Structure 1
Amino acid sequence: MTMFEVLPESGPDLLAIRVRGRLSREDYARLNPWLDEELVRNPRPAMLVDMRGFEGFEGPGALLDDMRSGVRHWNDLGRMALLGDHPWVAWMVSLVAPLMRAEIRYFGPDQQEAAWAWARQVRAAP
């Protein structure tokens, strides 16, 4: 069963995905090529990741794939909105935000409209 999906609101300036349940290595095998292709076509888009219902990773291999993807695309996004329902996601965002080139912000489960509005704001070129 697919644990991530590209949302219909995705477009050239805003990549939007939903992740639920536990992400597997197979999920990353599908997600990474899609993300690579989008970033070639549209450099430094915003991204919204709806993580409500995300439960973690199916083993250390999937977690390692997530970390590799993050490192590979460390500077490729203009801004990233994470919409979640777990305090640990907010904590992780607070740790990595100062290290990223992209603006990154966490939004709680009742802040969906604010997350979309913030992600859709045009970011000035670096």
Structure 2
Amino acid sequence: MFRLVPTDSDIVLRVDCDGKLSTQDIAGIHAALHRHLEAEGRTSLVIGLANFEGYESGTALKKDFQMDVKHRNDFWRVALIGDQSWGEWGATLGDLFSSAELRWFDADHASHAVAWAASQD
């Protein structure tokens, strides 16, 4: 499942992912992203992955990847938050699929992730 987390910045959309994401979750995230992009234009994204356990199916993974590719030029910055040791590696890999600047933050630095995503320098 996912939840949208309010931030103090209009240009930052924060999505926290918990457990395993389904195709319905991916569709919900995509809809929220479209609403945010329509309202704000190019934006920054913060994705909370501290409790993320993967995807319910290969179809959900495929839909997520398709969404990433479709929106690869829509973000200034993407902050990933979590505890997993693979996070920095994932952020490096994500650089291949996005024009956004990506950075990994430990879960106890979530507020720093949002502040970094909101800054334009």
TM over 0.5: yes
Q: Which runs of 4+ in 1 moved over 6 A?
A: none
Aligned position for 1:52 = 50
* Unmatched runs of 5 consecutive residues or more in structure 2: none
Cα distance in 2 between the residues matched to 1:11 and 1:5: 17
- The 3-state SS of whatever aligns with 2:38 is helix
Q: Are the equivalent residues in 1 in contact too, given 2:46–2:80 (CA < 8 A)?
A: yes
Mean alpha-carbon deviation: is it higher for 29-38 or for 91-100?
Answer: 91-100
Aligned position for 2:24 = 26
Assess, with a 3 A threshold, how the Cα gap between structure 1 residues 90 and 51 changes in structure 2: closer, same or farther. Answer: same
TM-score (norm 2): 0.90
Cα distance in 2 between the residues matched to 1:66 and 1:99: 12
CA RMSD of aligned residues (A): 1.6
Cα distance in 1 between the residues matched to 2:97 and 2:70: 14
What fraction of aligned residue pairs are identical, expressed as a percent?
A: 33
Displacement, 1:28? 1.2
Aligned counterpart for 2:92 among listed residues 77, 94, 97:
94
Q: Are the equivalent residues in 2 in contact too, given 1:6–1:18 (CA < 8 A)?
A: yes
Q: Are 1:7 and 2:5 counterparts?
A: yes
Amino acid at match of 1:53: N
Cα distance in 2 between the residues matched to 1:68 and 1:99: 11
* Unmatched runs of 5 consecutive residues or more in structure 1: none
- Render the CA deviation track for 1:64-106: whole Å, top value 9, x for unaligned: 0110100110000110110011122321111222552111101
Displacement, 1:10? 6.5
Give the number of aligned pairs: 121
